[in-house]
Amino acid sequence: MNIRRRARSRPLLAALVLSLPLALAAQARLAIAAAQLRALVVDDELRIRRGDRETALRAGNPLPPDGGTVTVQALRGETAAFQLIVFADGAGSEPAADTAAAATLSMEPFAASRTVAPAQAPAPAPRAAIFREHFVTVRTRSFNDHWPNESLGWTAGARPPDDAMLGDVPDALIPADLPGGAADDAARAGFAWHAFWIDVFVPETAPPGTFTARATSSVGGQVAARFSVRVDVQPAALPFRATSVFAFYEPERLQRRIGDGAAVERQLWQLLHAHHVDALPPLTSVAEVDRLADAFTGALFTAAHGYDGPGAGQPPQVLAVGTYGQLGDPSPVTLARARAIVDRLSALRPPIRADLFVYAIDETCRSPRAADWKKMLAGAPPLALPLAVGQTCDDPPEKQVVDVALMPAQAFTRAMPGAARAHGRRVWVYNGSLPRTGTLLLDAQPRGLLANGWIAALSGAGRWFYWESTFWDDDNRGGRGPIDPFANPVSFHNTDGDTALLDGVLVYPGRQTGAFAGAHSFGVSGVFPSVRLKMLRRGIEDAGYLMLAAREHPDEAARIALQALPAIADEAPVDRPPSWESAPAVGPRFAPARAALRALITRASTMTDADRDRVLDRLTAQRRATVPRALTRGQRSIRAGTVAGTVALLLLLAAAVARRRATRRRARSLA
């Protein structure tokens, strides 16, 4: 009988199971209907944690359910961006429950308004790309075992406060048209909170004028906002890659985590290029040159290879042979390998135009390897292309026997580029550390990476190198093994006691194989961008704004830059927060400066390389003449001691004078 009873209960159980999702969805719709959906437009400079309602309301511009407009100002060749945050605001203090419904955001194609002159063919219009912001929970901070308030990304005095960094933080940006992920992410939160990142790319060939598109956002079928996106395209063209930034990656890491190695590698190159960043491969063999020939010549960044973004056809600006010292010590064998790589590069058509250097060794200043490479190359028959020698080292550039000194950001000073040139050398910046520059670490405000674009333009930094972009495996010496970067931000450990959050992670795997195949895997043979990569792009584009404005109004542009960044590089006291964080806690700092620069730009002519060099030289000279270096702790102590000693001496002199006058008065009274 028991068996029969179970048999008879199966249809009823099946019906209950099948009806449960429908009931939950209906319940979610009722919960949403009982609450007020709010939609806020937020500047792309701000990072707002999930559930940070007060910050969102103070920083965002509300959109009505129907009829709002988002206005974007952009130059030709620029990718402008904004964010849309949607949440259900109930009668209570907490957002209404909504653990089943997903949010959507759709946009129609942009169309030109009547202000655009008619043409035989439709004018190239802006194009939008929509991403869901994925949140990762930050429970701990980047730190060092011996000095917990310090980290690889900041000094103790510049450490971002816990109350602004802990919690659910957005970073990975997942294309909104991919199924899955968004509803699960919302369900884990226990309440409705959805955030979208919207890129609006304006082709270089787009005509000046106004373009509009309609957009709709909804949650669980209920409309949160219907609005228009208006793009006002300015006549000037933004320089592509106004400042040079490059980031390392390892092909083996792509293959292990995602698979489809060659296809993923090419997509990574295109994604970084679209963000004005050059990819830097290991480049240790001729086979690698052959595999990436299209990237080295710029052909990979054309429509023929599916590329649709800024800098079409532009080749990379820098290539390293044997990145991180992978060629080893110079010898006839390793020199022959380097020569074969350079010969194959020289045979590419069109010819490559990149700065080419052998990356001798990494962060080992005492090693003679760089000097030995210099000596061997000098004594060998000339190579088919010039090959410089570089290394990462914090010794003063004039004391390094290299052609290119890659200086850690915390050691870089504004005087270094000029001093290096006087010795026939160049200085590039490596990584970043608060308060002198922004940092890659997740538990710092990402607009520091935006600030780096301005800093590069104002300090004379020739190029900026970020040590990794795909560091998902924590396989450094002292590392603790692979992570799922969508769920675990603690990505880096070393033998010096450093722990860092998502250091070296600028992109996320579109598919995960192996141990993480069941978690955050979207079935995409490629990588996804991060909020921090978007910040890098915005800073590089802002450097282009600064150059265009300074070409016409150098003094005013320099004043705007000084207001946006009162202290950069060695101008910044190391025991204080970075100067760009001294703005109000909520609200953008760089958007007003960008608008002020845009108002100065009237010339539509393209900026030549010579124009850029002249403008940058003047900007850096003005900056050095205007802002002094910050005193070190020792110098401040000496100055404080000197001031105290001077004050004490003056007080003693004053007391002596007073006593002498009193003695004279008594003598006169006795007489």
One DSSP character per residue, 124-177 reads P--EEEEEEEEEEEE-S--EESSSTT-BTTB-GGGPPPHHHHSEEEEEEEEETT
- Predicted pLDDT of residue 669: 46
14 three-class SS: helix
Distance CA 9, CA 540 (A): 65
At 55, list the tokens.
């910050």
- Predicted pLDDT of residue 306: 97
CA distances to 102, 185, 397, 548 from 88, in Å? 12, 15, 56, 43
Q: How many CA atoms lie within 13 A of 264 on its CB side?
A: 26
**What is this structure's pTM?**
0.89
**Phi and psi angles of residue 481, each rounded to the nearest 5 degrees, phi first:** 100, 170
- Predicted pLDDT of residue 159: 97
What is the helix (H) or strand (E) element at residue 543, kind and residue range? helix 531-552
- Predicted pLDDT of residue 636: 45
In the block, tokens 């294309």 appear at 175
Helix, strand, coil percentages in the chain from 3-state DSSP, rounded to 5: 40, 25, 40
- Predicted pLDDT of residue 76: 97
Q: Which are the contacts of 205, defined by CB distance < 8 A and separation ≥ 6?
A: 76, 124
CA distances to 87, 209, 212, 213, 241 from 235, in Å? 37, 8, 17, 20, 19
Distance CA 268, CA 282 (A): 14
Distance CA 272, CA 27 (A): 43
At 31, list the tokens.
């919960």
Distance CA 313, CA 301 (A): 5
Q: Which are the contacts of 343, defined by CB distance < 8 A and separation ≥ 6?
A: 383, 384
- Predicted pLDDT of residue 646: 55
Find how far residue 275's CA is from the centre of its chain: 9
- Give me the amino acid identity at 328: G
**Is 262 in contact with 291 (CB distance < 8 Å)?**
yes
In this structure, are strands 127-138 and 167-175 parallel, antiparallel, or unpaired? antiparallel
Per-residue buried b or exposed e for 136-145, using 16+ beta carbons within 10 Å of the residue's own CB: bebeebbbbe
Average pLDDT along the chain, 671 residues, taken 10 residues at a time: 30 35 42 70 96 93 92 98 90 41 92 65 90 97 97 97 97 90 50 92 96 95 94 97 97 96 96 98 97 98 98 97 97 98 97 96 96 97 97 96 97 96 96 98 97 97 97 96 97 97 98 91 96 98 98 97 96 96 77 98 92 94 93 48 53 65 51 46
What is the helix (H) or strand (E) element at residue 463, kind and residue range? strand 463-466
**Is 216 in contact with 223 (CB distance < 8 Å)?**
yes
Say if residue 148 is preceded by a cis peptide, omega within 30 of 0: no
CB neighbourhood size of 520 (10 A): 23
What does the chain come to in residues? 671
Nearest alpha-carbon partner for 86 in 26, 25, 133, 21? 133
At 461, list the tokens.
């930094």
63 three-class SS: strand
- Predicted pLDDT of residue 379: 96
